[in-house]
A and B are shown apart, each in its own frame.
Chain A
Amino acid sequence: MTTPVIELRDVSRRYDDGPPALSDVSLTVHAGEAVAILGPSGSGKSTLLNLIAALDRPDTGTVTVDGVRVDGMGEAASARHRRAKIGMVFQFFNLLDDLTVADNVVLPAQLAGMARGEAGRRAAELLEALGVARHARAYPGRLSGGERQRVAVARALMNRPALLLADEPTGALDTASGEDVSALLTELNADGQTIVVVTHDLALAQSCTRRTIQLVDGRIAGDVVAEPTR
């Protein structure tokens, strides 16, 4: 068995006086796995993603990512951890409109202090690999949804993260673009990238991941690993 990239032990999270968003959740994700977290609206998917990404802290329990406890981290430490270990892809891409595609992609490396030349080469490689190199000098607003999400993936991979988190990565895309992004994630996982996809789209989950975790009312209602297809 490979090293765990994600380890959650008895994690609970409640917002104000509402019902628990997550309740006693424990799970482990190993390196190289592709995991889909499924569930209806309000099931705790986004909360789980935020805890893994160190964007939020649990009320109880521990969260370990790539061997580092993140549940007690301060803002600065979690930011440094995120840029070193985690790449994030969002439903609405969250590209910065006033930066070119290349500048968007290179940003995490620049925040991490990577040398300018090295960052530029890495960004060019990624854009080439993801098929959007011709848009390097364009602004995100001129790209199609699928192209924007490819750029977002390139940005997420910039610092060679141990973990790629994708939050509804096809939610804002048409069917063709959605399939395109799904194929891209499959491809990345095939190359060894650990991926966690949060979605309510079963088709996406089945197409790009082998393991599916079902969340219902903040609890894990199912954790299924599909047999590999031949």
Chain B
Amino acid sequence: MSALGRVVRSGVGRRRVQTVVIGLATTMAVTSSVLGGSLLVASTAPFDDAFAEQRGAHLSAQFDAGKATVEQVSGTATLSGVTDAAGPFPTASVTPDTSVGPENPPTLTVVGRTDPGGSVDAVTLTEGTWVDGPTEIVLSADGPLSKTPTGSAVGTRLTFPDLPGAPTLTVVGLARSVSRTADGWVAPSWITSPEGYQMLYRFSAADTAEQVDAGRAAVTAAVPEGALNGSQSWLVLKKTADRSIAVFVPFLIAFGVLGLFMSLLVVGNVVAGAVGAGTRRIGILKALGFTPAQVVRAYMGQALIPAAVGTALGVVAGNLLAIPMLAETEEVYGAVTLTVAPWVDVVVILGALAMVSVTAWVSALRAGRLRTVDAIAVGRTPRPGRGQWAARLTARLPLPRPISLGLARPFARPARAVAMTAAVLFGATAVTFAVGLAASLNQVQIARNHDSADVTVGSMGPGMMGPGGPSRRPAADPAAISAVIDAQPGTRAHYSTATTRMTVPGVADFTKVVAFDGDATWDGYQMTSGRWFDKPGEAVAPTTFLTATGTKIGDTVTLKDADRTYTVKIVGDVFEMSNDGMVLFTDARTVTITDSEPQRAGHFIALQPGTDVTAYTNTLDTALKPLGVNAEPGGKNQASETLILINSLTATLTLMLVAVAAMGVLNAVVLDTRERVRDLGVHKALGMTPRQTIAMVIASVVVIGAVGGAVGVPVGVALHDVVLPAMGDSAGIGLPASVFTVHNPTGLVLLGIGGLLIAVLGALLPATWAARTRTATALRTE
């Protein structure tokens, strides 16, 4: 082994604390970076690839056949900015019977197309063949009818009893359109009287919502007023496709950046500290013939070896942690298997090592520049006293002397104190951010569940309709159930809901419409903006629905079921995550839901204070038995897997950051204690007890912890306020105010004390070491 190699190896071995600190800091930074980078790539890659392959539509437009002619719609293909277009394709909303698929099939938007290919929206046939006549249909591979209990729907037959002659179509294939342009495709001749026409556009510029909106505006202007009655931007689809995993990206980036800064800070501090503490050693190395460059390389090597180990561990941890989150995306894309992109690992490894190298090089430069004679002389002459003013000041404080001695210590080593403060600051920031995020996610859970009802009857709740479709409506008359509930002593308030599926023109996905009978505002529904509906004809919907339909508060939306059309006015943006946000809440008098339609119902009851929930539920259950429904205690909704995953990840990353912060303090205090071991010996020789020694060392980090905590807490709050909306945006959901206002003064003070605890935690070990150091040994140490 070369002389340089021996010096590096001995440095790594002798300075175990520094080695561990660098390794841990790098592990933390690399883990976060791999996670964030992988998910960023994974969240966008599948959609982008499919969109490029299918030459997806930047804008899918739905025109009212009664207001625009085929020629007028065709003319929009040549508008300025339109680079390609497909259509017009005739469209119709049809409802099949229940011979295949779930119990209550939705209304389908079918499009007449002779060819799956073309220059826009080249639909991919995943099974079977394309339609070859008016008796055939191809279903969306992502739709609820694509599978039957026995397997694929290909070969089955669908009857449409509502259409003239109740025609039957054979399912000949399944296809996937990344632009989600239809639930099914039929021969154009099958749609004898189209409700509308579909046009699919690609624009020369469509990277931003503004550019797509500009294209939409041009199309709107080219047809008669009101003719464009629905449209869907590819950006909305992309966000919908990405959001299951993209929601993780903002907070992982936040942790990645925090981890990176912490890593650089710790590496810089450790190497600078090692140079400072090893000045005499450096002098000896130079006296023995080491060149300045070799000395710099020796100290860089001492940082790079643990950093390389930390990087390797971080890559493994990042890849392992990414698995559960990538699994979520796999579900979205079916059989597509996603793994961490190898280039992300490579970039993170190279980036981490490069940054550690540069930081270590900058910190080690001083070692190269030190004059040999000065370096050897260190320790033999009194150091120029820094921070003497602080020592003078604290000596006057009415505090035990060990405490006041400790309080002055950071000012003797200002650079080191600043680095320690920064470490505590990052730790306090991470804790504050994590606590805020957890509290916010808890609020999201509360707002999502809206399960304030003490007792429920006949339903899981309006927000709990799963992908398998709703359960059947209770046979009993809702009015009869309401009468029983009203008659029950202890009832404070109750409302009922009925749920059905409808379509919005231009939007392929069905919309879940929940009709409320009675005041439901007490049941935890939270508004992002606007207000709850208070009369028939008004409705509230979540941001996802508003974005997908291109509407805002004050606009009207057209809803269609098999044979009726409703127009409702949006008066509020409600926080709701069921049915991927494609939900609309309205008054029961707004829509007509008949027994023959797909629906379900539930009753939700709030009890008067002091009412025994179990006794009430049992009594009500008995009273309802003749009506064929059951009463159950409320509040059974479970936490979302995504929220649990985010909370677990946040806790893991925060613990790592706090550990690194504490290790950063530990490292600095170890350096400080080693440098001052002779002073410690003097103190002990003068009668300082071990307890007083511990108090002095702990006191030396109190100011650092207090400042780090005091600054870190507001930074953490600010980070929370930036990241949370970004997460909501990534998920395509607006968040209610309750999600943001999660911090209270007492909690913030406690978090600030958390900064102090991080510092004390880091100083405890070296303080104990200092207390145990034998006085005679310390006095002999140079």
> CB within 8 Å of A: which of B686-702?
686-692
Q: How far is the CA of A162 from the CA of B687 in the complex (A)?
A: 14
> CB within 8 Å of B: which of A95-113?
95-100, 103, 107-108, 110-112
Q: Which one of A76, A94, A99 contacts B690 once the chains associate, using CB atoms below 8 Å?
A: A76
Q: Which partner residue on chain B sits nearest A110 by CB separation? A: B401
Are A96's CB and B679's CB within 8 A? yes
> CB within 8 Å of B: which of A143-182?
155, 159
Q: Does B395 have its Cβ within 8 Å of any Cβ on chain A?
A: yes
Q: Please indicate the chain A residues that have their CB under 8 angstroms from the CB of B383 in the complex.
A: 97
Q: How far is the CA of A108 from the CA of B688 in the complex (A)?
A: 8
Of B383, B402, B690, B775, most A-chain CB atoms within 10 Å: B775
Q: Please indicate the chain B residues that have their CB under 8 angstroms from the CB of A116 in the complex.
A: 398
Q: How far is the CA of A226 from the CA of B391 in the complex (A)?
A: 47
Count of A-B contacts judged by CB separation below 8 Å:
91
Q: How far is the CA of A110 from the CA of B392 in the complex (A)?
A: 15
Are B686's CB and A90's CB within 8 A? no
Are B686's CB and A141's CB within 8 A? no
Q: How far is the CA of A40 from the CA of B704 in the complex (A)?
A: 48
Contacts A79-B688, A84-B687 given; does A141 touch B679 at CB 8 Å: no
Are A98's CB and B687's CB within 8 A? no
Are B686's CB and A155's CB within 8 A? yes
Q: Which one of A79, A110, A159 contacts B684 once the chains associate, using CB atoms below 8 Å?
A: A79
B410-422 interface code vs A (CB 8 A; 1 in, 0 out): 0010000000000
Are B687's CB and A80's CB within 8 A? yes
Q: Does A216 have its Cβ within 8 Å of any Cβ on chain B?
A: no
Are A100's CB and B691's CB within 8 A? no
Q: How far is the CA of A53 from the CA of B401 in the complex (A)?
A: 22
Closest Cβ of chain B to A2, distance in Å, is 25
Q: Does A75 have its Cβ within 8 Å of any Cβ on chain B?
A: yes
Are B774's CB and A55's CB within 8 A? yes
Q: How far is the CA of A116 from the CA of B398 in the complex (A)?
A: 9
Q: Please indicate the chain A residues that have their CB under 8 angstroms from the CB of B685 in the complex.
A: 53, 55, 82, 88, 90, 94
Closest Cβ of chain B to A85, distance in Å, is 10
Q: Which partner residue on chain A sits nearest B782 by CB separation? A: A92
Q: Please indicate the chain A residues that have their CB under 8 angstroms from the CB of B384 in the complex.
A: 141
Q: How far is the CA of A50 from the CA of B615 in the complex (A)?
A: 79
Q: Does B779 have its Cβ within 8 Å of any Cβ on chain A?
A: yes
Closest Cβ of chain A to B297, distance in Å, is 34
Are B391's CB and A98's CB within 8 A? yes
B382-396 interface code vs A (CB 8 A; 1 in, 0 out): 111111100110010
Q: Which partner residue on chain A sits nearest B691 by CB separation? A: A76
Are A111's CB and B687's CB within 8 A? yes
Are A83's CB and B391's CB within 8 A? no
Contacts A75-B689, A98-B408, A111-B402 given; does A55 touch B385 at CB 8 Å: no
Q: How far is the CA of A100 from the CA of B384 in the complex (A)?
A: 13
Q: Does B645 have its Cβ within 8 Å of any Cβ on chain A?
A: no
Q: Please indicate the chain B residues that have their CB under 8 angstroms from the CB of A94 in the complex.
A: 678, 681-682, 685, 779
Q: Which partner residue on chain B sits nearest A167 by CB separation? A: B779
Q: Does B771 have its Cβ within 8 Å of any Cβ on chain A?
A: yes
Q: Does B750 have its Cβ within 8 Å of any Cβ on chain A?
A: no
Q: Which partner residue on chain A sits nearest B684 by CB separation? A: A79
Are A96's CB and B687's CB within 8 A? no
Q: Please indicate the chain B residues that have their CB under 8 angstroms from the CB of A82 in the complex.
A: 685-687
Q: Which partner residue on chain B sits nearest A152 by CB separation? A: B682
Q: Please indicate the chain A residues that have their CB under 8 angstroms from the CB of B408 in the complex.
A: 98
Q: How far is the CA of A90 from the CA of B685 in the complex (A)?
A: 10
Closest Cβ of chain B to A70, distance in Å, is 13
Q: Which one of A55, A76, A99, A110 contacts B775 once the chains associate, using CB atoms below 8 Å?
A: A55
> CB within 8 Å of A: which of B730-782?
771-772, 774-776, 779
Q: How far is the CA of A46 from the CA of B780 in the complex (A)?
A: 10
Are A55's CB and B776's CB within 8 A? yes
Contacts A98-B387, A100-B392, A141-B384 given; does A108 touch B687 at CB 8 Å: yes
Q: How far is the CA of A218 from the CA of B63 in the complex (A)?
A: 108
Closest Cβ of chain A to B387, distance in Å, is 6
Q: How far is the CA of A82 from the CA of B683 in the complex (A)?
A: 11
Are A140's CB and B678's CB within 8 A? no
Contacts A98-B388, A111-B402, A111-B692 given; does A140 touch B686 at CB 8 Å: no
Are A75's CB and B771's CB within 8 A? yes
Q: How far is the CA of A83 from the CA of B684 in the complex (A)?
A: 9
Q: Please indicate the chain A residues that have their CB under 8 angstroms from the CB of B779 in the complex.
A: 55, 90, 94
Closest Cβ of chain A to B713, distance in Å, is 31
Closest Cβ of chain B to A64, distance in Å, is 19
Q: Please indicate the chain B residues that have their CB under 8 angstroms from the CB of A99 in the complex.
A: 388, 391, 395
Closest Cβ of chain A to B389, distance in Å, is 10
Are B385's CB and A83's CB within 8 A? no
Q: Please indicate the chain A residues that have their CB under 8 angstroms from the CB of B391 in the complex.
A: 98-100, 103
Q: Which one of A76, A98, A107 contacts B686 once the chains associate, using CB atoms below 8 Å?
A: A107
Q: Please indicate the chain A residues that have their CB under 8 angstroms from the CB of B385 in the complex.
A: 97-98, 139, 141
Q: Does A66 have its Cβ within 8 Å of any Cβ on chain B?
A: no
Are B689's CB and A96's CB within 8 A? no
> CB within 8 Å of B: which of A33-85?
46, 50, 53, 55-56, 75-76, 79-80, 82-84
Closest Cβ of chain B to A23, distance in Å, is 19
Closest Cβ of chain A to B410, distance in Å, is 12
Are A76's CB and B395's CB within 8 A? no
Are B382's CB and A140's CB within 8 A? yes
Q: How far is the CA of A99 from the CA of B388 in the complex (A)?
A: 7
> CB within 8 Å of A: which of B249-293?
none
Are A75's CB and B690's CB within 8 A? yes
Contacts A56-B776, A75-B771 given; does A96 touch B682 at CB 8 Å: yes
Q: Please indicate the chain B residues that have their CB under 8 angstroms from the CB of A50 in the complex.
A: 776
Contacts A99-B395, A103-B391, A139-B388 given; does A83 touch B686 at CB 8 Å: yes
Q: Please indicate the chain A residues that have their CB under 8 angstroms from the CB of B412 in the complex.
A: 98
Q: How far is the CA of A159 from the CA of B776 in the complex (A)?
A: 21
Closest Cβ of chain B to A21, distance in Å, is 11
- Chain A residues within CB distance 8 Å of chain B: 46, 50, 53, 55-56, 75-76, 79-80, 82-84, 88, 90, 94-100, 103, 107-108, 110-112, 116, 139-141, 155, 159
- A sample of 8 more A-B contacts (CB under 8 A), given A55-B774, A139-B385, is A55-B776, A82-B685, A88-B685, A98-B388, A110-B400, A111-B402, A111-B683, A116-B398
Task: Show 24 A/B contacts (Cβ-Cβ < 8 Å), sorted by A.
Answer: A46-B776, A53-B685, A76-B689, A79-B690, A83-B687, A83-B688, A94-B779, A95-B682, A96-B683, A97-B383, A98-B391, A99-B388, A99-B391, A100-B391, A100-B392, A103-B391, A103-B392, A107-B401, A110-B401, A111-B401, A111-B402, A111-B683, A111-B688, A139-B385
